[in-house]
Amino acid sequence: MQIRFDGERVIVTGAGHGIGRGIARDFAALGAEVLALDVNAAGLAETKEGAAGSMTTATLDVTDPAAVRETVAGFGAASVLVHSAGGVRGQVGRPLEEITPEDWDAIVDVNMKGAFLMAQAVAPSMKAKARGRIVTISSGAGIGVSLTGIQAYAAAKAGEIGLTRQLAHELGPFGITVNSIAPGFVRSNPTTERQWDSYGADGQAKLVQGIFLRRTGTVEDISNMTLFLASSRAGWITGQVIQVNGGRA
C-alpha cells in the first residue's frame, strides 16, 4: 500500500531549493496540503511551479520568533513539520581564529534555533490532536565532522540532533514522534555543487570510493526517508537519527 498524506497539513522549511524543495513537492504529490517556507521568494516560486498538488508558499526567516508563530498559526494545525532550512549560509571552511561571532550565529541560528522555533510553534496543535510528526534534516557533520571544515555547521547540526532526541522524549507521551535524517553527500544545490567541484576529479573519485554504494546521494534518497518517518508506518520510531549516506566506514 502506497504512503499517502491526503487531508494532512505539512510544513516544510528550506523549501526554496534542494532537499527541502524535493520534500515539499513529494508531500504535495501524495495528497498533503503543503506550506513551503524559505527566505528565498524566487526559489519558492520555482518550487511551487513544479509541484503537483496543493501547495502554499510563504517567505519566512525561521530565526524570527514572531514571524514563525504568525506563519504557523495562519496555516492551521499541521500534522507534519519538516525542518530542512539551514546550510552554511554561503560560508566556506576557514581557520578557527578567523571566525567572527556573526559568522557563527548566522549558521547556528538558522539550523538549530530555527528547528527549535518551528517545533515550538507546531507542538501545541499536535498535542491537541494527540498525533504529530517532526522530522529534522541534520547532517553527517553533526555526527562526525564537517567535510567543509565549517565549525559552526558541525556544532549546529550536532545541536539539532540533540534537540531532536530531547523533543522525542518530551513529546512522545502526546503521540508525537521526532526524528532526524542525517544525509551524506547530496549534490542538491549550488553550495554542494561548488563543494563537489572543489574536490577535483581525484577528490571526487576518493569520496565516491568511500561510499559503500559507490555513488553520491540524491534529493529523492532523503525525501523517501522523510516520507516514511512522517507516515503512520513509522508510528513506533522516535528519537532516532537515520543516516542516509549510502554506507560509510
Cell of 52: 503537483
Mean pLDDT of 89-101: 87
CA atoms within 13 A on the CB side of 84: 28
Q: What's the pTM value of the predicted model, to 2 decimals?
A: 0.95
Set 5, 27, 153, 185: catalytic member: 153
The per-residue pLDDT for range 167-199, each reduced to its tens digit, is 999 999 999 999 999 999 898 888 888 888 888
Three-state SS for 166?
Answer: helix
The per-residue pLDDT for range 109-149, each reduced to its tens digit, is 999 999 999 999 999 999 999 999 999 999 999 999 888 88
User: Could you confirm whether 153 is annotated as catalytic?
Assistant: yes
Distance CA 36, CA 10 (A): 8
pLDDT of residue 92: 82
Q: Out of 20-24, 32-36, 61-65, 144-148, which region has the weakest mean confidence (pLDDT)?
A: 144-148
Q: Which of these, 117, 133, 124, lies nearest to 61 by C-alpha position? A: 117
Cβ atoms within 10 Å, residue 110: 23
Instruction: Report how far Cα 154 is from the mean position of its chain's Cα atoms.
Output: 15
Q: Which of these, 159, 143, 186, lies nearest to 105 by C-alpha position? A: 159
pLDDT of residue 2: 85
Percentage of the chain exceeding pLDDT 90:
84
Distance CA 98, CA 113 (A): 23
Distance CA 63, CA 165 (A): 21
Percentage of the chain exceeding pLDDT 70:
99
DSSP per position, 12-52: EESTTSHHHHHHHHHHHHTT-EEEEEES-HHHHHHHHHT--
pLDDT of residue 113: 98
Distance CA 151, CA 93 (A): 8
H or E element at residue 123: helix 114-129
Rounded (to 5) percent helix, strand, coil in the chain: 50, 15, 30
- CA dihedral sign of residues 156, 161, 164, 169: negative
DSSP per position, 194-213: HHHHHHHHHHHHHHHHTBTT
Structural domains in the chain, sorted by start: 9-186+219-238 (3.40.50.720)
Distance CA 24, CA 185 (A): 20
CB 122 within 8 A of CB 129: no
